[in-house]
Amino acid sequence: MTKFGPNLELPAEVRAVAEKNVAQAREAFETLFKNARDAVGQSEGQLEEVCAGVNDLRQKAIGLMEANMESGFDFLQKLMSAKTPQELLSFQAEFLSTQVQKVSEQAKALGADAKALGETTARTLDERARALAERVKELSAAAAKSAQSAAQDLKTVGESVVNEAKAKATEALDPNQKP
């Protein structure tokens, strides 16, 4: 029943469509915010993984520096035991050769670890970005479908209200005529 004037009463169909659309909009926003919270949680987890990888790499670098310093102290201790200049030069040549080889191996290992960390981080970020893009696409499709449904509902209700108004107008103009 439609009333015009100071006490406007919505037709039952309009009220039902409005309630349905509000419920759909609420559900859509709840889904959106849930997905946003999930994405933030996943991002925090990924950042923690990257930080852990960087910390591991840093610890390895510190361990390598520590090992190199120990080798240096061992070399100094060995130098003090040299009895001749030839022995001193021999110890120095041996130490330098060993250190060059060790530093080269350490640089390769550290470089490989850094490369692996970078590749893993890039791959993880790419996977998350693709998953997020797919989810946004799904949500957009759902929102478009919901908007189409709401538009169709409003069109149907609008047509119903127009037809009811026409009938009331016809009845008001000719009270003897039955619609």
DSSP bridge partners of 9: 3
Q: Which two tokens stand for residue 147?
A: 């908007």
Helix (H, G, I), strand (E, B) or coil at 61: helix
Nearest to 53 by CA among 127, 112, 116: 116
Q: Please report whether residue 172 resides in a domain.
A: no
Mean pLDDT score across all residues of the chain: 83
Q: For position 2, what pLDDT does the model report?
A: 45
Q: Please report whether residue 169 resides in a domain.
A: no
Q: Please report whether residue 157 resides in a domain.
A: no
Q: Per the structure, how many domains does the chain have?
A: 1
Q: Which two tokens stand for residue 69?
A: 């310093």
- Structural domain of 55: 12-143
Q: Which two tokens stand for residue 130?
A: 């693709």
DSSP bridge partners of 3: 9
Measured from the Cβ of residue 13, the count of other Cβ atoms closer than 10 Å reads 15
Q: Please report whether residue 63 resides in a domain.
A: yes
Q: Please report whether residue 51 resides in a domain.
A: yes
Measured from the Cβ of residue 65, the count of other Cβ atoms closer than 10 Å reads 11
- Across the 179 residues of the chain, what is the mean pLDDT of every consecutive 10-residue run? 56 78 80 77 77 91 93 93 93 94 94 92 85 81 81 81 81 69
Q: Please report whether residue 174 resides in a domain.
A: no
* Chain segment 83-111, per-residue pLDDT in tens: 999 999 999 999 999 999 999 999 999 99
Angle made by CA atoms 11, 13, 14, in degrees to the nearest 5 = 70
Q: For position 32, what pLDDT does the model report?
A: 75
Q: What is the pTM of this model?
A: 0.59
Q: Please report whether residue 160 resides in a domain.
A: no
Q: Please report whether residue 91 resides in a domain.
A: yes
CA atoms within 13 A on the CB side of 46: 17
- Is residue 152 within 8 Å of 161, Cβ to Cβ? no
Residue 9 DSSP code:
B
> Distance between CA atoms of 130 and 132, rounded to whole angstroms?
5
